Structure 1
Amino acid sequence: MKFNPKNKTSNVVLLISAFVVVSLILWNTLSFFTKFKEEERQKMEIWATAHSELLQASLDDDPGELPLKVFQNNTSTPMILVNKDGSIKTNNMPKEVVEDTAYIKEKILKFSSENTPINIDQQGEHLATLYYGNSEVLNKLKYYPIALLLIILLFGAVIFFFFKTNKASEQNKLWAGMAKETAHQIGTPLSSLLGWNELLKTENINPDITKEIEKDISRLEMITDRFSKIGSLPKLDEYDIVQETKEAYEYLKLRSSKLIHFSFDSKIDAQQVMLNHSLYNWTIENLVKNGIDAMKGRGSIGIQIVPDGNYVNILVSDTGHGIAKSDYKAIFNPGVTSKKRGWGLGLSLVKRIVEEYHQGKIKVLSSSKEGTIMQISLKVNT
């Protein structure tokens, strides 16, 4: 698949722009967090100073209004004050945990990891140690970058899903357009060939020649019919899956090399399934031809029909070189092929026919150096 260079450049520019915007938001958030933390540190140092002054003023029986004002304004930062005599005082913490020694010790360790404790000294004498944690606002701000990243990732996932879905829709339109155009282009010379063949029948020529031409015309009509059905929603009718598979098998067997050994085995006599006759035959043909290519024109092709509850499984096996397990799903993508001159559309068409048109399933059942087994599962009519 080729990409428009202009679109590719635009995508790169958008990606870089988005990265720059996200980086700036995260950097600004980190800067704001750091600044807010420094301001909170300064507030705690002022509180410690006020506490020291309050102790000194209490000796003179004149505490003053400023220290008390500082204490009253601090209503958000959790604190633990450990006095020199070992007594503990808490602030902005639940009252019911004040007596819980284990809880207080745990909080002191946590506060020490969040912020460096502040020593309260007076005239060279150590009076107390102040441990404080992050305020509720600071804790929320700390997790803001994570929340922002999650939002951006979610937004990116939504955009990715949108573009992926849009791309798939465009590919489906392209499939339909190409198929209809191919059917249309083949239809014009086909009508002409029919007329010329009828004219040849009136001439004095070998009848076997016109019969062979009719076979080729019939083949072209079948190809045109297939492509016209790919380009639109095909009609499904009730068919016997055993009979339809056997007919496709016999057709391919007669037209394949004698170096290919064919085998057919059905565990059921008959089973009604909703099918599109032309597209189902195309599916079996593609799988068999892929198997023949994998065997390089020499080996065994086997087709087996096995009941499986509400489904019937059609197994197509070959004795080719096998498929790597990592490629089990990739082989159904358009453009994936091991052939030098292949387009990589065969299995992609098969998957579309089975899963989208027949609401069935297709997968690589098993694969090794001894060969590969492909499995089609279709729902049976009950």
Structure 2
Amino acid sequence: MNAYQNKRLWKYILLAFALIIASGSLFYTNYLARNIAKSERTRAQIWSLSIRQVVSTDDNDFLPYVFAVRDSSIIPAIVTDDKGELQYARGLDSTKTFNPPLPEDEQEKDAPKYDPEYFKHELSVMKAQHAPIKINLSKGYWLIYYKDSALLTQLKFFPYVQLSVIAVFLLLAYTAFNSSRKSEQDQVWVGLAKETAHQLGTPISSLMAWIELIKDKFNAEEDPLMAEMENDVKRLEVVADRFSKIGSKPKLEDHFVYDVIEDFVNYFKVRVSNNISFELTGNKDLMAGLNVPLFDWVIENLLKNAVNAIEGKGSIHVNIDVSKNKEHIFIDVTDTGKGIPRSKFITVFQPGYTTRKRGWGLGLSLTKRMVESYHDGRVFVRDSEIGKGTTFRVILKNIRRDDD
């Protein structure tokens, strides 16, 4: 099991623990809420019985006890008669009443405001929450409606608030740690790249001097082998220049995409097996903002990846086209190699991922970085089929349109 499989496994394990914690929290809270609801139902029934006792009893000595029991219940409630008329309310806004006001000269100071609509609204809420408690009287019956207390309501919503806060905290923590880790990785990348460019400088200069010395000593100015050696040394200079640019925003210049890719394909194809054929097609008039040394690196990584995917004979086709709205340039690199499983379409761009016995698995990761961070484009696996081949697509902004 490789590092990325372990990483995915840990993600699933953490997700499972999160679900267990969430489920346990909801289950336990709901358990408490059900118990409280049963308790409040019992208290509402006691209060209902006290109402009946108050209405029907003539024993004045017993009434204080009944009132004490009744008032021990703090559940908001409304009492209606068998015709639905409001008779009594408790636990609601004490500044409001459903009784019509008395004449002004008979009204008490700070008397409750007449607001029957408020009580009708509260009654509708109570009807939606619980079935009423019916108490039979000598003349008809009354219905006791009640709703959850503020404590029970808070308890019901508490786990959702709790989990939301935890989720936000974890998201912020993950974002912070991920940003910090990415920043550290970027520093390592930049340091390694610049040190590599520095280390390459001296041997490249020496090689250039040795080539000139060989030309003079053996009169080999026109020797094609020396010309190829010079090309390779120049290529090393380009590589060193690439590494030196990592970590800084490269300067982009307008170039014809077809010409830049054609120059590199011509250089690259003579340095791989003759069993692999190359084909370049597409629109030659499309122009994009490019840093040629870095963009050559993008094409080089995609072509090397295609060559490594081909076992034996095969072909690599590079096609350049424009989107329907002419805003973007599509560069498709298609090989006839072994293909990539659909589950690995994203994983192939992660640092360290490789299917080869040798290699660090950095080529496609660098490609993604150079396309997206430096050229403001996109790169992804457009299509792949096991045993038939893969197509990578690079998308760049088209700065020269036919209708401009």
CA deviation profile, 1:1-50 (whole Å, cap 9, x unmatched): 99xxxxxxxxxxxxxxx99x999999997898689668756754653563
The answer to whether the 8 A contact 1:45-1:118 is kept is no
Name the CA distance, whole Å, in 2 between partners of 1:44 and 1:363. 65
Partner of 1:138: 152
Q: Which of residues 280, 295, 317 is equivalent to 1:264?
A: 280
Displacement of 1:272: 2.1
- Tell which deviates more after alignment, 149-158 or 165-174: 165-174
The answer to whether the 8 A contact 1:260-1:298 is kept is yes
Instruction: Give secondary structure in 1 for the equivalent of 2:234.
Output: helix
Partner of 1:237: 253
Displacement of 1:118: 9.8
Once the two structures are superposed, the pairs formed by residues 150-299 of structure 1 within 5 Å of their partners are 150-197=164-211, 203=217, 214-267=230-283, 269-299=284-314
The answer to whether the 8 A contact 1:54-1:63 is kept is no
- Tell which deviates more after alignment, 132-141 or 311-320: 132-141
Displacement of 1:231: 3.3
- Tell which deviates more after alignment, 197-206 or 313-322: 197-206
Once the two structures are superposed, the pairs formed by residues 15-34 of structure 1 within 5 Å of their partners are none
Q: With the length of structure 2 as denominator, give the TM-score of the two structures.
A: 0.72
CA deviation profile, 1:198-230 (whole Å, cap 9, x unmatched): 555665686658666544432321211111122
Once the two structures are superposed, the pairs formed by residues 90-101 of structure 1 within 5 Å of their partners are 91-92=89-90
Name the CA distance, whole Å, in 2 between partners of 1:346 and 1:316. 15
5+ residue gaps, structure 1, are 3-17, 122-126
RMSD between aligned residues: 4.4
What is the total number of aligned residue pairs between the two structures? 359
5+ residue gaps, structure 2, are 4-17, 93-97, 99-115
Name the CA distance, whole Å, in 2 between partners of 1:234 and 1:103. 67
The answer to whether the 8 A contact 2:336-2:388 is kept is yes
Partner of 1:311: 328
Name the CA distance, whole Å, in 1 between partners of 2:310 and 2:32. 67
Q: With the length of structure 1 as denominator, give the TM-score of the two structures.
A: 0.75
Displacement of 1:169: 2.1
Displacement of 1:181: 1.3
Partner of 1:328: 345
CA deviation profile, 1:251-283 (whole Å, cap 9, x unmatched): 11222211111111123x322211011111111
Displacement of 1:248: 1.0
CA deviation profile, 1:98-128 (whole Å, cap 9, x unmatched): 999x979x939x536xx9x79999xxxxx98
The answer to whether the 8 A contact 1:81-1:89 is kept is yes
CA deviation profile, 1:345-375 (whole Å, cap 9, x unmatched): 1111111111110001111111113111111
Instruction: Give secondary structure in 2 for the equivalent of 1:158.
Output: helix
- Tell which deviates more after alignment, 324-333 or 91-100: 91-100
The answer to whether the 8 A contact 2:49-2:135 is kept is no
Instruction: Give secondary structure in 2 for the equivalent of 1:160.
Output: helix
Name the CA distance, whole Å, in 2 between partners of 1:261 and 1:99. 83
Displacement of 1:79: 5.5
AA aligned opposite 2:169: F
Name the CA distance, whole Å, in 2 between partners of 1:294 and 1:25. 50
2:357 aligned with 1:343, yes or no?
A: no
Name the CA distance, whole Å, in 2 between partners of 1:286 and 1:339. 14
Partner of 1:14: none
